[in-house]
Structure 1
Amino acid sequence: MKLFAEMFTIAPGNKDHHVAIRCAVGVFVPLIILVLLGRTDLAIFASFGAFTGIYGRGEMHRKRLLIQVRAGSLMLLVILLATLSARAGQALGLSDTAATWAQVAATTLVAGACSLVIARWRHRPAGSLFHIFAFAAIASIPSQPPLWQCLLVSVLTTVFCLLIGISSRLVRSRRTPWATPEPVRLTPEEERAAGLEAVGYLVAAGLAGTLATLVGQWLGFGHNYWAMVAAVVPLVGRTTRHRVARGIQRIIGTVLGLILLAGVLLLHPVPWQTVLVIAVCQFGAEMFIARQYVLAQVFVTPLALSATLLAAPTAPELLLRDRIVETVIGAAVGIAVVVAPAVWRRIRANTAAQRLPA
């Protein structure tokens, strides 16, 4: 009961609306420009470039800028690798099955590598969830726009978010000292923890991607990378109980978010209205992501699927079906990866106790 109560407790706010406004504007402006230009095929690149604004949410201006420059640069590298990966698969003439498995393998490597980089940089949000999502979503696009256009949109969106991040310096009352503390190097224990965490991301993402692909091929589901994203959600947390709770919250929030999205889709929104939904959901997600994960997921789910529908229109009912199935698969794998070490330690302790002389 205590665990259940904690999952639905809302922590006090901490000027979250400041971050939420920055992130909402950061994604709305690039997307609405692309809609007006009739280039919604580039929307996914703007969406992931806008993730730059998520980092450094409560930091002073100079430190936030440094954090966002590094985070944005890493995301741009992931975007570049993803679109090159898609082009390489097409150039090699890989079958759909081979391309899917190659994507799972590449995304798994991205999960581990980006987790390690983010941990060493001490960035928050921790982990490589956004990088997994960006790499797999872009790499799975069958018809890639010209490379220079993909990169141009991504870079311009990233720069725009950097400017938004320091824009409040124009307001004297909001201006923070243009200083940043000396970077603190990871201790040997933290280095070891970062390495183990990266292994956890490799295992969780790889297992979830493999299982989701096998189930998808058997039952006709798609979007296996949603399972990979959901699988790493429980890896972020202070305790095993907290991590398990995040996995359960992911499932509950996704179900509620799908209900919300179904209601929105019944209105048959046109592209500019879809962009408005994305901006509102981005605002809601940032308002609650650090305070109440279930409520945040209610906004994250329609945010992710609306962006997918904008970039690559498809049957909405298939997206809703795939989202819940892949989320359940991924969350279950993530929870298993989190619980496995604790179970193993308990088994070893019991075995050692049994070997002691009576």
Structure 2
Amino acid sequence: MSRVREVLRMQASHNDHHVALRTAVGVGVPLLLLVAVGRIDLAIFASFGAFTGIYGRNQPHRQRLIHQATAGATLLVTILAGAVASRAGIGDWGSVAGATLVAGAAALVIGLSRLKPVGSLFHIFTFGAIASVPAHPPLWQCLLTAALTVAFALAMSVATRLLPSHRSPWTRPRTTPLTKPERRAVLREAARYAIAAGTAGSIATALGIGHNYWAMVAAVVPLVGPTVTHRLGRGVNRVLGTTMGLGLTLMILLLGLEPWAMVLVIAVLQFCTEMFVVRQYAIAQTFVTPMALISTELAHPSPPALLIQDRAIETLIGCAVGFLVVLAAHFLSTLRATPAPEV
């Protein structure tokens, strides 16, 4: 029961509304501008560029700016890779292979750079979603949209320095190089991300389920956390939150909202997500699910029933694969830590 309570516990708030407002504006303003100029076809690139604002949650301004700039650069490279993959027509299996490479490489860069949140979840989502859209505007327009959104997120990152009550010292953050064991741990973690994502994506593709990258995203969710219990709990929360979020998604999609109204909904959902993502992951997933699906709808509309079915099935596939990877890693680490019997 203590482990169940730990999984479902609500953490204390830590200025979550600051981050929530910053990220909501960071995604809402670029999308509204695209709607205003009639370029909703570029919305997917603005949405993924806005992921930059998620990094460096409560860090001092200068450190947050450095971390977000690093994260933004990795996202731009991922966006470029996804756009090129789409133009090359690599197909479902090619998309899985590409997203698997992205999962491992991005997790390695994020880990070596000590960025928070850890892992490559956002990069897998970015590559998979962009690569799955069959037609894009000219490449330079896609990259310019993404780059401007990243720049806007960086500006939002330091905007609160204008308020004396929120200003942090503009001092260079002290960093120490990663030790050799820490670098090995990052490398092992990156390998787990690639294995989990590649396995889940392969299963979803073999079963003929659309949006195979959703399974890949769900597979890496349980890989984050200090203990095995915490990691498995994240997977359980992912399933619970996704189930609740699918109901909310259906209600929103049935409203038949105009694009500008959909953008406002995305901004509100982003705000709600950041209010709970650190405190209670299941509640956060209730808002993440419709936000992800609505963002997908803006780029490549699909029947709501099919969209919800794919999300539900692939969440279960991904989390199941993630659980197996976590348990296998724990078993192997236990074997390494067990002393050899004396002869």
- Flag whether TM exceeds 0.5 (same fold): yes
Query: Which deviates more, 235-244 or 32-41?
Result: 32-41
- Whether 1:109 and 2:118 are equivalent positions in the alignment is no
Matched residue of 2:24: which SS? helix
- Aligned equivalents of 1:114, 1:320: Cα separation in 2: 28
Check whether the contact 1:7–1:294 (CA below 8 A) recurs between aligned residues: no
- Aligned equivalents of 2:329, 2:22: Cα separation in 1: 39
Check whether the contact 2:200–2:215 (CA below 8 A) recurs between aligned residues: yes
Structure 1 residue 39 displacement after superposition: 1.4
Check whether the contact 1:61–1:166 (CA below 8 A) recurs between aligned residues: yes
- Aligned equivalents of 1:171, 1:43: Cα separation in 2: 31
- Whether 1:215 and 2:197 are equivalent positions in the alignment is no
Check whether the contact 2:133–2:299 (CA below 8 A) recurs between aligned residues: no
Structure 1 residue 350 displacement after superposition: 9.9
Aligned to 1:326: 314
Matched residue of 1:242: which SS? helix
Cα displacement string for residues 251-285 of structure 1 (whole angstroms, at most 9, x for unaligned residues): 11000000111122222211111111100110011
Equivalent residues in 2 for 1:1-358 (5 A)? Answer: 1-89=1-89, 99-216=91-208, 221-344=209-332
- Aligned equivalents of 2:185, 2:265: Cα separation in 1: 39
Report the identity percentage. 55
Structure 1 residue 173 displacement after superposition: 1.9
Cα displacement string for residues 322-341 of structure 1 (whole angstroms, at most 9, x for unaligned residues): 00001100000000000113
Counterpart residue type for residue 121 of structure 1: S
- Aligned equivalents of 2:109, 2:34: Cα separation in 1: 31
- Aligned equivalents of 2:191, 2:97: Cα separation in 1: 14
Counterpart residue type for residue 69 of structure 2: V
TM-score computed with the length of structure 1 as normaliser: 0.92
- Aligned equivalents of 1:138, 1:115: Cα separation in 2: 19
Check whether the contact 1:28–1:279 (CA below 8 A) recurs between aligned residues: yes
- Aligned equivalents of 1:77, 1:108: Cα separation in 2: 15
Counterpart residue type for residue 48 of structure 2: F
Larger radius of gyration: 1
| Two-structure CA RMSD over aligned residues (Å) | 1.7
Check whether the contact 1:41–1:312 (CA below 8 A) recurs between aligned residues: no
Structure 1 residue 74 displacement after superposition: 0.9
Structure 2 unpaired stretches of 5+: none
Cα displacement string for residues 290-339 of structure 1 (whole angstroms, at most 9, x for unaligned residues): 11000010010011001111121221111101000011000000000001
Matched residue of 2:117: which SS? coil
Counterpart residue type for residue 82 of structure 1: G
- Aligned equivalents of 1:268, 1:87: Cα separation in 2: 30
Matched residue of 1:179: which SS? coil
Matched residue of 1:272: which SS? helix
- Aligned equivalents of 2:57, 2:27: Cα separation in 1: 16
Structure 1 residue 88 displacement after superposition: 2.2
- Aligned equivalents of 1:196, 1:308: Cα separation in 2: 32
Counterpart residue type for residue 234 of structure 2: R
